């Protein structure tokens, strides 16, 4: 196999040390017969064509930061890594648009935009390592998705390789397109199960002149959630509304810039942006709306203080992990009026299963990173943490929410969608996969709505 693939991609296109590509940030173990790194979309197409002819599974791979195990080759075959498709094909700053290949790092897109007075709005947390192709394949979001939407909002065109090995383009450097069924949106968020993204046209925005966060420390969930609903209900143009529950504050408080105010049991972080005058106006409104019932409100105005606050927010997952050594962090989303219930129920599920259950996340989007902690030394605690996750999924469905608001289904949440969707919708989901990938070779086992023995 490797010899024939080498003929397509050359020596540089076969990873000499495949180890890094066989797992991802989840640590899920994988195995592959080869790790292939094509350098062009035509090479990707040729590799897919070869695999399709020889019935070889293909696991597409971006930066490996996905948290659902989607990039792990659980069924063998090849890993198709996009690292070498890393060119900027075209950049038109005055038209606010950028054409990049899939392997360009998210952070590099942010930098290029920023250096030209522009902004690429999506801000998923692992930007230095994740790739634009991976962001598109997971429709990644982040704190600022509250105002700006997830990655897909900013993709106007896609180039992708689809089975049995052809390059197709849908959309382009255009701002409107309703000509056909929305194939672009099917590929966005497909987690590599319908096609392999090789390049994308991205829409940029002029960068805001100023961004000003507000951090409001509340005594409890009740008071914090009331403040969140006040911001939403009064139409204040916040870019982000984040929350941390009391248990999360207990894990991350030590790394906060200074002591936490006495009586803090719930934190809301919001942000204003725009021209200097606009940002200051919105910040004042946020202070007023979030301040009611709070024990303290911080509104850093210096760049250093602002960056410190967001860096601390960005490191939460690691602070939480440190508490017991390991954790399962989910990403359910619920209607905004059920947020408080979901936060309280996450803690209660933890208590019922005798593990620490906490949540933090993107409050404005009703998106919770409900997390259950366990020690690597306790198999029993691990089992109870997974049992807690099962209860969490049931809770998300009961609250009319979704089992995944951000991370996708990947391998870890395979088979769960049928709990959320009606039977006919599940059938359509499977029919779409069948049309795009009749041999089932594109990222097999991932994003499946129900498990094979239930089909």
Ligand X SMILES: Cc1cc2nc3c(=O)[nH]c(=O)nc-3n(C[C@H](O)[C@H](O)[C@H](O)COP(=O)(O)OP(=O)(O)OC[C@H]3O[C@@H](n4cnc5c(N)ncnc54)[C@H](O)[C@@H]3O)c2cc1C
Structure-token match 């499977």, residue found: 430
Residue 171 contacts ligand X per CB under 6 A: no
Nearer to ligand X, 73 or 357 (CB): 73
Beta carbons of 328 and 372 less than 8 angstroms apart: yes
**343 is a site residue for ligand X (CB under 6 A):** no
Residue window 82-111: x/- pattern of binding to ligand X, with contact defined by CB under 6 A: x-------------------x---------
Q: Contact between 353 and ligand X (CB under 6 A)?
A: no
Residue 272 sits in the site that holds ligand X (CB under 6 A): no
User: What is the rounded CA–CA span in Å between residue 133 and residue 202?
Assistant: 11
CB burial of residue 7 (10 Å; 0-12, 13-18, 19+): exposed
Residues in a beta bridge with 166: 162
Least Å from the CB of residue 444 to ligand X: 11
Does residue 329 belong to the site contacting ligand X (CB under 6 A)? no
Of the listed pieces 28-36, 108-116, 124-132, 377-385, which binds ligand X according to CB under 6 A?
124-132
CB atoms within 10 A of CB 308: 15
Residue 389 preceded by cis peptide, ω within 30: no
Tell me which of 46, 163, 197, 332 binds ligand X, using CB under 6 A.
197
Burial 35-72 (b: 16+ CB within 10 A, else e): bbbbbbbebbbbbbbbbbeeebbbbbbbbbbbbbbbbb
Indicate whether 367 belongs to the interface with ligand X (CB under 6 A).
no
Q: Is 38 in the site for ligand X (CB under 6 A)?
A: no
Q: Tell whether residue 25 is a contact of ligand X (CB under 6 A).
A: yes
Based on the shown chain and the rule CB under 6 A, indicate whether residue 191 belongs to the binding site for ligand X: yes
Q: Are 243 and 267 in contact (CB under 8 A)?
A: yes
> Does residue 366 touch ligand X according to CB under 6 A?
no
Q: Please report whether residue 67 would count as binding ligand X according to CB under 6 A.
A: yes
* Beta strand 326-329 pairing with 296-298: unpaired
Q: How many residues belong to the site for ligand X (CB under 6 A)? A: 38
N- to C-terminal Cα separation, the chain: 32
32: tokens are 């592959």
Beta-sheet pairing, 296-298 with 205-206? unpaired
Question: Rule CB under 6 A: is residue 361 a binding residue for ligand X?
Answer: no
> DSSP state, 99?
E
Q: How many CB atoms lie within 10 A of CB 302?
A: 8
- Please state the closest distance from residue 284 (CB atom) to ligand X, in A: 28
Q: How many CB atoms lie within 10 A of CB 434?
A: 11
Member of 9, 15, 119, 126 binding ligand X (CB under 6 A): 126
Tell me how far apart the alpha carbons of residues 293 and 309 are, in angstroms, rounded to a whole number: 22
35 binds ligand X (CB under 6 A): no
- Using CB under 6 A as the binding rule, whether residue 138 contacts ligand X is answered as yes
Choice from 99, 184, 446, 450 touching ligand X (CB under 6 A): 446
Measured from the CB atom, the residue of 27 and 422 that comes closer to ligand X is 27
* 398-417: contacts with ligand X (CB under 6 A): 406-407, 410
Asked if 437 touches ligand X (CB under 6 A), the answer is no
Return the structure tokens found at 214. 């507000």
Q: Measured at CB, which residue is nearest to ligand X? A: 134
**Is 140 an interacting residue with respect to ligand X (CB under 6 A)?**
yes
Using rule CB under 6 A, residue 137 touches ligand X? yes
User: Is the Cβ of residue 271 or residue 391 nearer to ligand X in the bound state?
Assistant: 271
What does residue 391 show for φ and ψ, rounded to 5 degrees?
Answer: -65, -35
* Binding footprint of ligand X on the chain (CB under 6 A): 24-25, 59-67, 70-71, 82, 102, 124-126, 130-131, 133-135, 137-138, 140-142, 191-192, 196-197, 317, 406-407, 410, 443, 446
């Amino acid at each position: 196999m490797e010899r024939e693939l080498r003929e397509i991609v050359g020596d540089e296109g076969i990873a000499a040390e495949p180890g890094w590509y066989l797992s991802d940030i989840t640590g899920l173990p994988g195995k592959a017969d080869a790790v292939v790194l094509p350098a062009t979309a035509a090479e990707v197409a040729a590799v897919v064509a070869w695999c399709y002819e020889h019935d070889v599974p293909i696991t597409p791979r971006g930066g490996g930061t996905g948290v659902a195990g989607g990039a792990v080759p659980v069924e063998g075959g090849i890993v198709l890594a996009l690292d070498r498709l890393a060119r900027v094909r075209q950049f038109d700053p005055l038209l606010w648009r950028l054409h990049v290949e899939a392997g360009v790092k998210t952070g590099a897109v942010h930098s290029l935009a920023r250096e030209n007075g522009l902004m690429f709005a999506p801000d998923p947390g692992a930007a230095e390592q994740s790739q634009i192709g991976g962001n598109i394949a997971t429709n990644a979001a982040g704190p600022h998705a509250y105002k700006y939407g997830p990655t897909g909002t900013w993709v106007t065109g896609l180039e992708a390789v689809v089975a049995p090995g052809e390059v197709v383009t849908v959309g382009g450097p255009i701002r409107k397109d309703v000509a056909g069924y929305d194939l672009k949106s099917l590929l966005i968020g497909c987690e590599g199960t319908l096609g392999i993204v090789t390049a994308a046209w991205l829409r940029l925005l002029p960068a805001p002149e100023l961004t000003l966060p507000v951090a409001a420390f509340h005594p409890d969930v009740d008071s914090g959630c009331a403040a969140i609903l006040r911001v939403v209900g009064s139409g204040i143009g916040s870019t982000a509304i984040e929350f941390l529950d009391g248990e999360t504050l207990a894990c991350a408080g030590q790394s906060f810039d200074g002591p936490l105010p006495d009586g803090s049991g719930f934190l809301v972080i919001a942000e204003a942006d725009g021209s200097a005058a606009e940002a200051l106006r919105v910040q004042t409104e946020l202070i007023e709306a979030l301040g009611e019932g709070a024990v303290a409100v911080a509104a850093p105005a210096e760049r250093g203080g602002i960056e410190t606050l967001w860096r601390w927010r960005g490191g939460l997952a690691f602070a939480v992990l440190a508490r017991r050594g390991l954790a399962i962090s989910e990403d359910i989303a619920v209607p905004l009026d059920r947020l408080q219930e979901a936060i309280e129920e996450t803690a209660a599920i933890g208590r019922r299963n005798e593990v620490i259950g906490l949540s933090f996340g993107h409050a404005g989007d009703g998106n919770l990173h409900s997390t259950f902690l366990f020690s690597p030394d306790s198999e029993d605690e691990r089992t109870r943490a997974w049992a807690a996750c099962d209860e969490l999924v049931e809770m998300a469905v009961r609250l009319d929410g979704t089992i995944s608001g951000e991370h996708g289904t990947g391998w870890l949440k395979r088979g769960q969608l049928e709990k959320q969707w009606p039977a006919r919708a599940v059938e359509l989901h499977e029919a779409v996969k069948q049309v795009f990938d009749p041999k089932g070779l594109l990222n097999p086992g991932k994003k499946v709505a129900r498990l094979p023995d239930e089909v």
